[in-house]
Amino acid sequence: MTGSDIRQRFLDYFGQRGHRIVRSSSLVPGNDPTLLFTNAGMNQFKDVFTGQEKRDYTRAATSQKCVRAGGKHNDLDNVGYTRRHHTFFEMLGNFSFGDYFKQDAIAFAWDLITKDYGLPKDRLYVTVFETDDEAAEIWHKQEGVPLDRIYRFGEKDNFWQMGDTGPCGPCTEIYIDQGAGQGCGSASCMPGCDCSRFTEIWNLVFMQFNRDSAGVLTPLPRPSIDTGMGLERIAAILQGKHDNYDTDTLRALVLASAEATGQDPDGPFRASHRVVADHLRSSAFLMAD
Ligand code: SER
């Protein structure tokens, strides 16, 4: 599947299950002084989660243009040197505004990746927030994920928040094992390790609170769902690549940089070509927006 096929399959899947397909919002948020650039699919729905804004739908799905080049979610220094960091990327997401919650969000995600995308269950792992017994039980009893493939982590890994303020909540993440050959070899290597063995594919956030500037958490009017899956990462996995820059969308730009500069795409300027490919996407879409 090309990147475009993967995006379309995602939107079709959720469209067929009652979700409104909403266009990506601008990379420059219109009405949010807390945010310089759009950094997640949920940004355009922030006020819907808090109940300040009403829409005529309670389920949505998007492929959102995102830039993470500063602030809380910032990958800038890694770009070019790692296989999966970008300043610009697309986030595939489904959202429930007080409609379905944990059970259905987990069922949809598992169904899509194991059936429609055909990922082998025996390479998948999940993580949940340390006290979230409910999510662990859904993964185990409803989806049949073995207990030894369900890891529990604290706030740093399994509690998502947009920034210092705004909607937030515990989350559950799906990881794929890329094989011991991609790993650090450590006996304690597991999902969440910094090496390339376990790749996080999808983050499902159980939106339950709004954090104010004093850090106080207030429950949202209704429990909601915000998910995000990086298109470039899932494309690498489905295209059998270990590197996002080898997928169809990014490799074309790396090759264009190599051609324009007369330098081997995989030679000594490899990282530079990747920085060029990444930053071209960020700057082109930022200028367009
Ligand atoms: N908002 C969450 C994230 O950015 C899930 O979409 O990871």
Per-residue pLDDT band for 34 (boundaries 50, 70, 90) equals confident
Q: State residue 60's pLDDT score.
A: 98
Q: The pTM is what?
A: 0.95
> Nearest residue CA, atom 3 of ligand 1?
228
By DSSP bridging, strand 124-129 and strand 150-153 are: parallel
| Packing angle, helices 231-238 and 248-261, rounded to 10 | 100
Distance 171 CA to ligand 1 centre (A): 9
Give the nearest ligand 1 atom to 40 CA. Answer: 4
Q: Ligand 1 atom closest to Cα of 228?
A: 6
Q: What is the pLDDT of residue 73?
A: 79
Nearest alpha carbon, ligand 1 atom 4: 40
Whether residue 228 has its Cβ less than 6 Å from ligand 1: yes
CB count within 10 Å of CB 103 equals 12
Is the confidence at residue 104, as pLDDT, over 90? yes
What confidence score (pLDDT) does residue 132 get? Answer: 98
**Burial, 258: exposed, middle or buried (Cβ in 10 Å; 0-12, 13-18, 19+)?**
buried
Q: Which residues of 196-227 are buried (b: 16+ CB within 10 A; e: fewer)?
A: bbbbbbbbbbbbbbbbeeeeeeeebeebbbbb
Question: Which pLDDT tens digit goes with each residue over 201-228?
Answer: 999 999 999 999 999 999 999 999 999 9
Confidence of residue 30 (pLDDT cuts 50, 70, 90): confident
And the tokens for 206? 């159980």
